[in-house]
Each structure stands twice: as C-alpha cells, then as structure tokens.
Amino acid sequence: MNTAPWFTRHPLLRILRSPGDVAQLSVPELEELICQARQERLGGHLWHVLEANSLLQSLHPVVRRQLWSGFLEAEYHRQRILWEADRIHWALRDLGLSIILLKGGAYAAANLDIAKGRFVRDLDVLLPKECLSAAEKTLIEAGWEHVVLDDYDQRYYRLWSHELPPLVHPDRRTELDLHHAIVPRSSYRRLDMLSLHASAIVIDTRGTKVLAPLDMTLHCAAHLFQTGEIRGGLRDLVDFAALVRQFSSQPAFQENLVPRALQLGLGRPLYYALRYATRLLNAGIPEPLMHASEAARPSPLVLAFMDFAIPQALLRSSAHNESWLVRFGHVSLYIRSHWLRMPPLPLAMHIARKSLRRWKFRESNA
C-alpha cells in the first residue's frame, strides 16, 4: 500500500526534494515538470540545481531548453534588479537614508546561494517610515511614476498596506515597492522596525543594506505565511529552505532564530515555514530548531486545517482534481491572508469592492 502523501508524486516537488529522480520521470511527468516549473517561476532554480548535480545531460533537449530559458530569464532580471537598486541609490543619494533591499533584490545583491537562477520581478526596498514620503517625492522628481492605479487603490495602499503604491521608471519598467514595514498594518504594531534597521548589514561601499540573516529568514517566512496569499508561494518556501541551509553554518543562527521570531511576533509564520519546508521539500531543518519552534505551534484544529490546505495551495496542479474541499481550503486561506491585513468591516468592504470591479472589468472587456 502506498502511504506517501499525494504531494510526493508532484513532479516539481519530487525533483526539488531529490534531484536525481529526474532521470526516472515518464514523459507525462516531464511535461508536468516543465509546466509546474514555469508556473512557479522555478525553472531557473531547477536548472541551477540540476547543473550543480551534473544531471542536465540526461534530460530531453526540450526539457533542457525550457529550464535553460527560465535560467536566462532569471539571470537577466537579476541584472535589471541590481541596476534598479543602483539607480535608487543615485536618486536618493542626498537624503542620507538607510536603504535596505528585501527579498529577491537582497538575495541578488548579497549574492546568496538562492540568487542563482532565482526569478525576481520587483525591487523591494525598506525605508524608515518617517523617510518614506520624502523618498517617494524625490523618486518622482527623478522620473519614477506610479503604476497607473485608481484613487481607491492609492488609498488602500497608503491606509492598509506596509508598502507604498508601486513605482516604475519609464525607461526601465522595473517595479519598485517602497516598504516601511515587513508585515501589514494590523500585525506590525508588535514588530519593532527599529531593531530590524539597527541589525541590518551593509553589503557594499555605497552603504546598501540587507536584513541580518535572522531577520531575512523571518521576513521570508512572514512574507509567505503572514502577508501573502500562500497560493503560488512555493518559490518563497524554496527561498526559506535555502536561507536556513546557508545561514545554518553561521554561529548561533540556529539557536537565535526562534527567540528572534518570538521577539518580533513572527513565531507562528516561522513555525509554518519550518514545518512545510520539512514536509514538502525535505529541507533538512536541524532537529533542535524544529523542536524550539514548537513554542509557536497553533492549536491542533488550526494545524490540521493548515496541513491539509497549505500543500494544496502551494502546489497548483492540473493533474490533481480540485474537489470542493480543496476549493474551500483555497478560499479560507485567501480570507485568512486578508484577515491578517485588515479589520473585519473594512475587509468586507474591500473584498466586495474588488469583486465588483473585477466583474465590471470583465464585462467591459467582453
């Protein structure tokens, strides 16, 4: 009897867990692999992993070119993001700000292991809250523009989000998100942003910073389980596993991760990230770290729900039929992601408004 959970048969997950299996995939599984890697923007990462394990030669040329194309795409965007960061530095040079790069931009700038072949679309920058409007004004004077958004979206961002409405420079079209916090408003009261700024690390001669390893890892977990929609977040989980793997060689990283998480109010997202990186990716998280994170374990009922819904949400797959139960899981996670962002009444109004607009948009395009 086959007792392995359904997701261990998911081709992309299977190769992420154990790259050597790639030679054993059937033609339909290879097709699923291409499709899933493209969907999750993990083709470039997969190329890198297979190359590091000398597994590319065994691949069918069609599979190889798809992954190779994903890799080139990722490397190109990495270059664009670093150039955009350079331009931001230039534009904000007179404000004397501490500019902290977040997520993909940070991994690229700090040249972390995970950056190789990792797709990054937007540049995320963290600034002290009190500097945000000056920075926005300076960037707009230097040629950046708001991505066209209506008044409602502008207000929504400014009132409820932890980032400003996105900006782009028309010559380069790389989206720039200016953050003043790493989790949304309703959760950030507990989060001491000053201490994130204080422990950030300078990575180049111009003074570009990235979050300290502990905070960077926690931000990754928080981004997936506290701020995002989880659906489509497999890439974040892959990031998280890679960050833990790389930083675990540093002294005291493992011992301090859970205490830091609890201090910042991010114990729960860390718990989830460790749990699902282990379950889905076989991430090799050290046992003491898993054990320490139990301090932030949710109630058994919540955990049972998450154990069911999270793999479904992270692993979109056409081969896996969406039952009503799965759809219930998706909807619940969607509501949860908003719940963490806004109080109930504004949330209800926001969702109603968005749905109405989506409907109108569809009709006007009919």
Partner 1 sequence: MMLGNLQPGEIVGELRAAGIRLRIGPFHINVRSEDALFASTFGLLYADFPLLATNEPAEFRIELDHPKGIRRWWRPQVRFLLDDSQPFEPFPKSHAMPLFEWGFNWCIYEHIHEFLIMHAAALEWGGRALIMPAPPGSGKSTLCAALTHSGWRLLSDEFALIRKPDSKIVPIPRPIGLKEHSIELIRGIAPSARFGPVFSDTRKGSVAHLKPPTDAVSGAEVVAAPAWLVFPRYEAGTRTTLQPLGKASAFVRASNNCFNYGALRKTGFTLLSAVIDECDCYELRFGDLNQALDQLKPLSENLRRVA
- Can you give the binding site for partner 1, defined by CB under 8 A? 27, 30-31, 34-36, 38-39, 60, 62-63, 65-66, 68-69, 72-73, 75-76, 79, 316, 318, 365-366
Nearest to 255 by CA among 224, 213, 284: 213
CB 127 within 8 A of CB 146: no
Give whichever of 66 and 138 is closer to partner 1, judged by the CB atom.
66
- Please report how close the Cβ of residue 83 comes to partner 1 at its closest, in angstroms: 11
- Please report how close the Cβ of residue 315 comes to partner 1 at its closest, in angstroms: 13
Nearest to 102 by CA among 81, 83, 87, 116: 81
- Please report how close the Cβ of residue 72 comes to partner 1 at its closest, in angstroms: 4
- Please report how close the Cβ of residue 303 comes to partner 1 at its closest, in angstroms: 29
CB 206 within 8 A of CB 243: no
Separation CA 78–CA 122 (nearest Å): 10
Give whichever of 61 and 96 is closer to partner 1, judged by the CB atom.
61
Edge-first strand order for the sheet with 209-210 is 145-146, 167-168, 175-179, 123-126, 100-102, 209-210, 201-202
Give whichever of 116 and 341 is closer to partner 1, judged by the CB atom.
116
Nearest to 104 by CA among 277, 278, 223: 223
Give whichever of 197 and 316 is closer to partner 1, judged by the CB atom.
316
Give whichever of 67 and 101 is closer to partner 1, judged by the CB atom.
67
Quickly list DSSP for 119-163.
---SEEEE--GGGHHHHHHHHHHTT-EEPS--HHHHHHHHHH-SB
CB 162 within 8 A of CB 227: yes
Q: Which residue has the tokens 């009444």?
A: 345
Give whichever of 25 and 264 is closer to partner 1, judged by the CB atom.
25
- Please report how close the Cβ of residue 334 comes to partner 1 at its closest, in angstroms: 17
Give whichever of 36 and 227 is closer to partner 1, judged by the CB atom.
36
Quickly list DSSP for 240-308.
HHHHHHHHTTSTTHHHHHHHHHHHHT-HHHHHHHHHHHHHHH-----HHHHHHHGGG---HHHHHHHHH
- Please report how close the Cβ of residue 365 comes to partner 1 at its closest, in angstroms: 5
Main-chain phi, psi angles of 127, to 5 degrees: -130, 155
- Please report how close the Cβ of residue 142 comes to partner 1 at its closest, in angstroms: 23
- Please report how close the Cβ of residue 170 comes to partner 1 at its closest, in angstroms: 16
Separation CA 147–CA 289 (nearest Å): 42
Give whichever of 36 and 161 is closer to partner 1, judged by the CB atom.
36
CA 31 to each of CA 38, 53, 199: distance values in angstroms, whole numbers, following the listed order: 11, 21, 45
